[in-house]
Amino acid sequence: MALCEAHPLLWGGLPAMGLGLTGIYGGWVLWWASREAGCQRASPALTRKAVRVLILPLGRERQHSTPVFSTKPPGYWWFFFGHVRSASAAVGWLAGYGPWPDGDLWGLGVVVGRRGEYPFKKTITALILAIAVIVLSCQKPNTMNDLKNKVAYITGGSKGIGYGVAKALLKEGMRVALSGRSEASLRKAAESLGSRDRVLTIPSDVGVLAEEQNAVNTILDHWGQLDVVLANAGVGHFAPVDELSVDAWKQMITTNLDGVFYTLKASVDALKASRGYYITVASLAGTNFFASGAGYNATKFGVVGFTQAAMLDLRPYDIKVSTIMPGSVATHFNDHTPSEQDAWKIQPGDIGILVVDLLKMHPRTLPSKIEVRPTRPDKK
């Protein structure tokens, strides 16, 4: 820590030493306050302006004033201010620092007094203003390195990918709400997952906006927050386009495409409040067309496009948006029953691990579109 003309500390004697010790303690108070406010680092521009307006005048003299204001290299923000009033001045400062989860350090320094004086009023006033500066100017990242007690909502969560993701999130200490159209399947899933105080089941059809709104309201009433939404529910019907029925087409459009929109529409305000994460489960069929897949391709191409556009719309709110595009997964999709013959496929738990990795990704980085496929499809 650099100070301008450190020798006044000697001339200031014990008063200056007392202020210095008070400053160190006060600095830790500032760090604690900023941590409780959820601040990862101070916004340089806002803090610089606030310190100029609120704090510098407390110690500034009309003549011979030397403000010191510096910034360390990227990743480390330090703000401090030393006021030196000729050789008879004593310098005291508040300097706080603390380790953040991602390794950042920063501190805020404020002012102080003359030789032989105990400017306690100034110090307390500066401390209060500094805390206000931190709370008002801090940048709260939407990182989820600590997932404990975060709340996730998973559509189509009673089996397959949804169930696999739920299991992975519960392992991280999260609370999970599962929705689906079958109450029996939801009850079975909840019993299998255990952790009943951390699992909530909600019957809901994603193709009906009112039901999705009810699901989100139920979660907020129960847990008071919503941090992660996984729009996973989906159906598939496969037939040559000239044989594909209108009912099959409409069911895929309603569930696969309307569903991701309705789920987001219902949850977006809660995600804005939590600066959360919205994830859709698309498919490699969202970029690779194939015979007898006209309807399914149409919906999954739509999900990919919708999600990427939503990502651009929502990132100003610090909501992260991604789409996961799996290849063959060992699930109950399309009335399939998983067996040992599916060992070559992606397993639902693999997608669960992927989702956890996304949630723990540093907030500066967003994998917005993730393709995932079996390593050795030739072993099927």
Kindly report, residue by residue over 142-189, the tens digit of the pLDDT.
556 689 999 999 999 999 999 999 999 999 999 999 999 999 999 999
Of 164-173, 352-361, 370-379, the least confident:
370-379
Split into its structural domains, the chain has a count of 2
In the set 76, 118, 296, 317, the catalytic residue is: 296
Strand, coil or helix: 72: coil
Joined tokens for residue 69: 């204001």
Beta strands in 162-262 (DSSP E): 175-180, 199-203, 228-231
In this predicted structure, what is the pLDDT of residue 321?
A: 98
Same domain? 264 vs 193: yes
8 Å CB contact between 225 and 218: no
| Domain endpoint, select from 139, 169, 195 | 139
Catalytic site includes residue 317: no
By the 10 Å C-beta count (0-12 exposed, 13-18 middle, 19+ buried), 294 is classed as: middle
146 in any annotated domain: no
Rg (CA), the chain: 28
Phi/psi for 287 (5° steps) reads: -135, -10
Residue 99, pLDDT score: 32
Do 61 and 162 lie in a common domain? no
**CA–CA separation, 253 vs 207, rounded Å?**
9
Backbone angles phi, psi at 210, to 5 degrees: -60, -35
Residue 1 lies in a domain: no
Q: Judge if 114 and 179 occupy the same domain.
A: no
Residue with tokens 């100070």: 3
Give me the domain span that covers residue 191.
151-379
- Amino acid identity, residue 275? R
Q: Are residues 200 and 315 in the same domain?
A: yes
Domain-located, residue 134? yes
More confident residue, 351 or 82: 351
pLDDT of residue 261: 98
Give the pLDDT score at 90: 29
